[in-house]
Amino acid sequence: MVDAKTVTREDVLEVIRSELKGFEVEEGDVKGEASFDSLGLDSLDLVELSVRIEDAYGIDIEEDDLKEVWTVDNAIDVVLAKLGKS
């Protein structure tokens, strides 16, 4: 489990990059402004990604949280909020 006090935006971005490899997304394509749609993910993929992120950080991401997640930056914001960093 990670220490929520030390997690940065870059840390979360690296976890997302790592997890997206499982979706055959090129690491270099994963930038904050990239939309998940442009990365080839659909809504079911986004749910699967959120489960992987939950496991990585020991957090719960609700379905309502995902409604506003369109970009990698949005996902980072959700994770940091769940960790109490926003």
Q: pLDDT band for position 35 (50/70/90)? A: very high
Cα separation, 16 vs 10, in Å, equals: 10
Domains, the chain, in order of start with CATH, read 4-82 (1.10.1200.10)
Residue of 3, 42, 64, 73 marked catalytic: 42
Residues 63 and 41: beta-carbon distance below 8 Å? no
pLDDT score of 1: 59
Q: What average pLDDT does this structure show over 5-11?
A: 92
* Residue 65 falls in the annotated catalytic set: no
Biggest distance spanned by C-alpha atoms of the chain: 32
Confidence tier at 79 by pLDDT (50, 70, 90): very high
Amino acid 5: pLDDT: 79
pLDDT of residue 46: 95
